[in-house]
């Protein structure tokens, strides 16, 4: 096992929008940063990013490449990219140490976790092939390109398996389709609750175009490779075609680092942080999808919108907290 020569001001695990944004904020304050990129990205199945100024309907891979090159062109003396998987993260008396897949140890005063989120697909045949092609977890990022459908659906299970979440997604789906069906996949109790809630909020307007189907789903094949249409195969042998499906599956943070560092998780599996400064304790920070259910490129890059906050403030908050805490080392 060998050790890198430099002790960095900050170690950043994650080379996606969140990690790149944190690195940018840090080098702008003249901190020396190492960014570890495993090459695993949540949006890898997507061909395009959306809802992102100056990068709308463009490649996520090209965005990462451009952001990285911009950092190297302007701040090469302050940033180093390490294209390796980190295996171990541990707290030390002087900061943190990371051990990469080649057994090299890297030392840093502070640690930023921006490893991203791993979606755990439900056990329905065909689901994984539909993901990002016809099944979308964020209707700000996807859906517009597939608008004008006669019908679209919501999978009422996992994160979207509640009322009012499923009806909320159904109303969003109606921006892209004439009618919306909520599929509970055998969840009769949820189906009845959704129907009751829809009735309580009025049976006219958008609610009149939302219906509930409680049948068990046996398969979700794509209808073709050139559209978002999905064939829904039911246990009774019948089939329906939907123009797209909205669904928030279960998931977990990437990597073993929260457990290794003894960080507390929220009930949804995110890292618990202190306020909006994203301090997860022990001198470590987290950004992107790790700390709340905020999704998409902008929440991860300028962490976090979804109409809650601008990430210029969030990244500044993280870097400011970092700057305050690191002064004791200088």
Q: Tokens at residue 273, please?
A: 């942080």
Q: Is 188 helix (H, G, I), strand (E, B) or coil?
A: helix
Q: Identify the residue whose tokens are 């560092």.
A: 261
Structure tokens at 140: 């700000």
Residue 299 above 60 pLDDT?
A: no
Q: How confident is the model at residue 2 (pLDDT cuts 50, 70, 90)?
A: confident
Alpha-helical (H) ranges within the chain are: 17-27, 60-75, 127-130, 165-173, 188-200, 257-261, 297-301, 311-326
Residue 203: predicted pLDDT? 73
Q: What number does CATH give the domain 8-119+250-305?
A: 3.50.50.60
Q: Which residue has the tokens 């993260």?
A: 89
- Evaluate if residue 199 carries a pLDDT over 80: yes
Decide if pLDDT at 97 tops 50: yes
pLDDT band with cut points at 50, 70 and 90 for residue 303:
very low
Q: Which residue has the higher pLDDT, 256 or 269?
A: 256
Predicted confidence at residue 280, as pLDDT, reads 63
CATH class assigned to 127-246: alpha beta
Q: What is the tens place of the pLDDT at every residue in 129-144?
A: 999 999 999 999 999 9
Torsion of CA 311, 291, 88, 261, to 10 degrees: 120
Residue entry with tokens 């459908």: 149
Pairing of strands 86-92, 279-281: unpaired
**Number of residues that make up the chain:** 330
Question: Do 8-119+250-305 and 127-246 come out as alike in CATH topology?
Answer: yes
Show me where the domains of the chain are located: 8-119+250-305, 127-246
Average pLDDT over residues 51-59: 95
> Would you give the distance in Å from CA 61 to the centre of its chain?
16
């Amino acid at each position: 096992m060998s050790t890198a020569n430099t002790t960095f001001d900050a170690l950043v695990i994650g080379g996606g929008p969140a990690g790149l944004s944190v690195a940018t904020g840090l080098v702008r304050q003249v901190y020396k940063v190492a960014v570890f990129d495993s090459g695993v990205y949540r949006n890898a199945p997507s061909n395009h990013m959306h809802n992102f100024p100056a990068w709308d309907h463009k490649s996520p891979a090209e965005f990462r490449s451009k952001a990285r090159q911009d950092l190297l062109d302007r701040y090469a003396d302050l940033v180093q990219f390490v294209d390796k998987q980190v295996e171990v993260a541990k707290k030390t008396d002087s900061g943190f140490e990371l051990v990469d897949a080649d057994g090299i140890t890297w030392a840093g005063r502070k640690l930023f976790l921006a490893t991203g989120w791993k979606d755990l697909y439900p056990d329905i045949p065909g689901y994984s092939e539909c993901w990002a092609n016809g099944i979308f977890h964020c209707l700000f990022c996807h859906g517009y390109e597939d608008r004008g459908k006669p019908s679209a659906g919501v999978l009422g299970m996992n994160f979207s398996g509640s009322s009012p979440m499923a009806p909320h997604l159904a109303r969003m789906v109606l921006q892209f389709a004439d009618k919306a069906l909520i599929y509970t996949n055998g969840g009769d109790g949820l189906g009845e609750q959704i129907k009751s809630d829809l009735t309580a909020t009025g049976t006219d307007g958008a609610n009149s175009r939302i219906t509930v189907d409680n049948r068990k789903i046996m398969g979700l094949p794509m209808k073709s490779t050139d559209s978002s249409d999905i064939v829904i195969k039911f246990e009774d042998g019948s089939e329906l075609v939907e123009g797209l499906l909205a669904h928030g599956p279960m998931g977990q943070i990437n990597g073993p680092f929260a457990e290794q560092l003894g960080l507390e998780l929220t009930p949804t599996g995110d890292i618990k942080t202190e306020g909006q400064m994203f301090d997860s304790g022990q001198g470590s920070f987290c950004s992107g999808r790790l700390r709340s259910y905020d999704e998409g490129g902008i929440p991860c890059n300028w962490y976090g919108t979804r109409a809650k906050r601008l990430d210029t403030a969030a990244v500044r908050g993280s870097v400011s907290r970092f700057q305050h805490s690191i002064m004791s080392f200088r």
